[in-house]
């Protein structure tokens, strides 16, 4: 069962551009996590959002949790080549034994 | 990757051999998850274990695959009689997973084991 849909699947942009990627579901989650996976490495947790409408900032990355806690977005300002990677979202919380990751957005930032 | 250790990093096996993948969780974490990732694809859940217990193995193939997390030592993912389709990256994650605090369900991943079946 795929609970989370991520879009776009692929994104290739120039250094300095802004971008937004999305994580959507028809289910309500108690929390949602974003991870980044660089080529050849394991995913690294970026942030957990918990409250509906919550906005969290991590340097140039802004994460938002939808008011209804069904969706989330990640906005990157002035993207850099170091932002290149696969961005994954996953539901957190105690309701899920299986961690269903979205299929991910593969981001390539060209210098 | 936040202290989760996996070994080996790369494993080459011929068809029909056995593959053993090891995962040592972060200190203090008693919950381990295994995932498989094919090239250009996302992570697919395989199994969730606590010490000496398999909690959810609904993502594991019914045959040839098994997992354990003994009281002492690392978690082991075992693939018997490997086939070419088993070639993938296998990731382990650990979590402290205390009920009631969603932040403690955050997972920390190891660097993965890349299995190649010849």
Q: Nearest 5°: phi and psi at A91?
A: -75, 135
Cα B67 to chain centroid, rounded: 8
Residue B1's pLDDT band (boundaries 50, 70, 90)? very low
Taking CA–CA distances from A38, the nearest residue in chain B reads B111
Residues B23-37 pLDDT 10s? 999 988 888 999 999
* The predicted structure's pLDDT at residue A94: 54
* Whole-angstrom distance, CA of residue B105 vs CA of residue A92: 6
Mean pLDDT of B68-87: 95
Residues A41-69 pLDDT 10s? 999 999 989 889 999 999 999 999 999 98
Smallest Cβ–Cβ distance between A31 and the set B45, B55, B102 belongs to B102
Mean pLDDT of B64-92: 96
Smallest Cβ–Cβ distance between A88 and the set B2, B43, B111 belongs to B43
Residues B83-97 pLDDT 10s? 999 999 999 999 876
Cα B11 to chain centroid, rounded: 14
Task: Confirm or reject contact between A32 and chain B (CB < 8 A).
Answer: no
Contact A104 B45 (CB under 8 A): no
Cα B51 to chain centroid, rounded: 14
Mean pLDDT of B58-62: 91
* Higher-pLDDT residue of A27, B82: B82
* Whole-angstrom distance, CA of residue A71 vs CA of residue A108: 23
Contact A93 B102 (CB under 8 A): yes
Task: Confirm or reject contact between B106 and chain A (CB < 8 A).
Answer: yes
Secondary structure of chain A in HEC code, one letter for each residue? CCCCEEECCEEEEECCCCEEEEEECCCCCCCEEEEEECCCCCCEEEEEECCCCCEEEECCEEEEECCCCCEEEEEECCCCHHHCEEEEEEECCCCCCCCCCCCCEEEEEEC
């Amino acid at each position: 069962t795929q609970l989370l849909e991520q879009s776009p699947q692929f994104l290739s942009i120039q250094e300095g551009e802004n971008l937004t990627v999305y994580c959507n579901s028809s289910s309500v989650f108690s929390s949602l996590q974003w991870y980044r996976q660089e080529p050849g490495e394991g995913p690294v947790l970026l942030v957990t959002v918990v409250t509906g409408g919550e906005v969290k900032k991590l340097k140039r990355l802004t994460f938002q949790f939808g008011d209804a806690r069904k969706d989330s977005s990640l906005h990157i300002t002035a993207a850099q080549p170091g932002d290149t990677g696969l961005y994954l979202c996953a539901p957190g919380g105690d309701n899920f034994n299986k961690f269903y990751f979205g299929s991910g957005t593969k981001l390539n930032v060209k210098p | 990757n936040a202290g989760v250790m996996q070994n080996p990093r790369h494993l080459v096996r011929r068809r029909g051999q056995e593959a053993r993948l090891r995962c040592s969780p972060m200190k203090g974490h008693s919950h381990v998850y295994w995932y498989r990732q094919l090239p250009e694809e996302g992570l697919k859940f395989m199994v969730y274990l606590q010490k000496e217990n398999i909690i959810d193995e609904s993502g594991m193939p019914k045959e040839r695959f098994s997992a354990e997390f003994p009281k002492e030592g690392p978690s082991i993912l075992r693939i018997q009689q490997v086939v070419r389709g088993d070639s993938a990256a296998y990731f382990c994650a650990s979590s402290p997973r205390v009920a009631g605090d969603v932040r403690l369900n955050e997972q920390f991943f190891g660097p993965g084991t890349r299995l190649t079946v010849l």
